[in-house]
Amino acid sequence: MDESPRWLIVRGQFDRARRVLQRAARWNKTQLPSEEALNNLILSGSNYSADPFIYIVLGGLMEIPGFSLTAPIINRFGRKWPTIWGYVLSGIAILLLVFIPDNIQWLVMTLAMLGKLCNSGAFMIIFVYITEVLPTEVRLQGVSAAIMTSKVGAMVAPYVTDYVGPLVPWAPSVIFGVSSVVAGVALLPMHETLNVPMPDTIEDVPDITLKPTLFRPSAARGPWAVDVLPAGRAR
């Protein structure tokens, strides 16, 4: 072939792509698929127009504010809630991709980059958070376990996109989006560590006792009411 048919389709040169395929068919003494199948290939060229290189570049650019702005944010608002909102907003952005048609490329890219931005920020904060939550005597083991768990997710993700995605196109967005939201919700019972001395032993870690009013709104305490009690005083 003197040129890639796929590249020609992406560039909008449909007639030239057709001629290249017809020439290749003659050389191989075969025939092209039916005209309808060929037209379907041409009309689906917009599905290939999202340049993966642009996506990688934009994703990398999103990490710059996601990583650099976390320090002033957590020093002002603490560790817990910025992490929760980062994961929840990232999950919502990914879940919204399920309902966006593929031909609205700008909206798909915007939501994807928003999810990348929020997730990058939460990813940076969470390692600061777990370092301050864990006591000194088990901090190394705890951080190592957290890193190992995150790598398991990184290993599973390609199989979800490459094998589950072609069968159920909306499944990867739902799986990744729900996982991100669940990660944020799971942090709700945790205590804040801003301006709190880091624990040295397991006994120094405060107990988190969930009151029966946890899901009952209160004007004074809010719907997510938790008590942080010293060790040995949990009720």
CATH for 99 = 1.20.1250.20
Per-residue pLDDT averaged across 25-40, rounded? Answer: 57
85 and 164 part of one domain? yes
In a domain, 196, yes or no: no
pLDDT band at 10 (very low <50, low <70, confident <90, very high): low
In the numeric block, the tokens 């990744």 are attached to 176
Q: Are 120 and 63 in contact (CB under 8 A)?
A: yes
Per-residue pLDDT tens digits for 185-217:
999 988 888 888 888 887 777 665 444 433 333
Round to whole Å and give the CA distance between 119 and 155. Answer: 17
Q: Sorting pLDDT into bands at 50, 70 and 90, what band is 33?
A: low
Calculate Rg over the CA atoms of the chain. Answer: 25
| Tokens 């599973």 found at | 156
Does 101 lie in the same domain as 171? yes
Task: With respect to residue 211, please indicate whether it lies within any of the assigned structural domains.
Answer: yes
Shared-domain flag, residues 68 and 170: yes
d(CA 224, CA 89) in angstroms, rounded, equals 19
Bridge-partner residues for 226, per DSSP?
210
Task: Clarify whether residues 123 and 172 are in a common domain.
Answer: yes
- Residue 53 tokens read as 């290189």
Provide the token pair at 175.
């799986």
179 burial (CB, 10 Å; 0-12 / 13-18 / 19+) is middle
In a domain, 192, yes or no: no
Query: Contact at 8 Å (CB) between 182 and 153?
Result: no
What amino acid occupies position 112?
A
Q: Could you report the per-residue pLDDT of 111-154, keeping only the tens digit for each?
A: 888 988 898 889 889 889 988 888 888 888 988 988 888 888 88
pLDDT at residue 102 is higher than 80: no
Q: Which domain holds residue 73?
A: 50-186
Confidence of residue 157 (pLDDT cuts 50, 70, 90): confident
104 and 9 part of one domain = no
Domain count, the chain: 3
Task: Examine residue 200 and state whether it is found in any structural domain, yes or no.
Answer: no
Looking at residues 66-87, what average pLDDT do you find? 91
